[in-house]
Amino acid sequence: MSVIEVSELRKFYGGRAVVDGVSFAVEEGEIFGILGPNGAGKTTTVECVEGLRIPDAGRVRVTGLDPVADHARVARILGAQLQESELQAKLTVGEALELYSTFYERPLDWRPLAERLGLTQKLTTRFGKLSGGQKQRLFIALALVGNPRVVVLDELTTGLDPRARRDTWELIEDVRAGGVTVLLVTHFMEEAQRLCDRIAVIDKGRVAALDTPAGLIRRSAGATVISFTPSAPLDAHELNALPALASIEDRDGRLTLSGTDETVNAVITLLARRHVTAHQLRVVDATLDDAFLDLTKTDTQEATA
Q: What is the pLDDT of residues 34-86, one digit of tens each?
A: 999 999 999 999 999 999 999 999 999 999 999 999 999 999 999 999 988 89
Mean pLDDT, the chain, whole residue set: 92
pLDDT of residue 298: 54
Q: Which of 263, 107, 105 is nearest to 96 (CA)?
A: 107
CATH classification at residue 77? 3.40.50.300
Residue 51 located in a structural domain = yes
pLDDT of residue 217: 83
Please spell the DSSP secondary structure of 20-66, one letter per residue: EEEEEEEETT-EEEEE--TTSSHHHHHHHHHTSS--SEEEEEETTB-
The predicted-structure confidence for 110-169, as pLDDT tens digits, reads as follows: 999 999 999 999 999 999 999 999 999 999 999 999 999 999 999 988 888 999 899 999
pLDDT of residue 113: 94
Residue type, 276: V
Query: What is the reported pTM?
Result: 0.81
Let me know whether 138 and 265 are in one domain.
no
User: Is the pLDDT confidence value at 269 over 80?
Assistant: yes
The predicted-structure confidence for 80-114, as pLDDT tens digits, reads as follows: 999 888 999 999 999 999 999 999 999 999 999 99
Let me know whether 90 and 34 are in one domain.
yes
User: Is the pLDDT confidence value at 22 over 90?
Assistant: yes
Give the pLDDT mean for 192-204: 95
- Burial per residue of 110-138, b for 16 or more beta-carbon CB atoms within 10 angstroms, e otherwise: beebbebbbbeebbebbbeebeebbbbbb
- Length of the chain equals 305
pLDDT of residue 301: 46
The predicted-structure confidence for 200-233, as pLDDT tens digits, reads as follows: 999 999 999 999 998 898 777 667 889 999 999 9
Let me know whether 174 and 245 are in one domain.
no
Let me know whether 174 and 274 are in one domain.
no
**Total number of domains constituting the chain:** 2
**Which of 215, 235, 258 delimits the end of a domain?**
215
Let me know whether 201 and 121 are in one domain.
yes
pLDDT of residue 279: 96
pLDDT of residue 299: 46
CA distance 3 to 250: 50
Residue 305 located in a structural domain = no
* pLDDT band with cut points at 50, 70 and 90 for residue 289: confident
Give the domain range for residue 180.
1-215
Separation of first and last alpha carbons in the chain: 41
Let me know whether 210 and 236 are in one domain.
no
Secondary structure of the chain: what % helix, strand, coil (to 5)? 35, 30, 35
Please spell the DSSP secondary structure of 254-285, one letter per residue: EEEEEE-HHHHHHHHHHHHHTT--EEEEEEEE
CA distance 2 to 25: 6
CA distance 102 to 212: 38
- Count helices and strands in the chain by DSSP H and E runs: 12, 13
pLDDT of residue 214: 87
Phi, psi of 169 (to 5 degrees): -60, -45
CATH classification at residue 263? 3.30.70
pLDDT of residue 304: 43
Helix (H, G, I), strand (E, B) or coil at 232: coil
Give the pLDDT mean for 246-270: 92
Percentage of the chain beyond pLDDT 70 is 97
| Residue 183 and residue 24 in contact, taking contact as beta carbons nearer than 8 Å | no
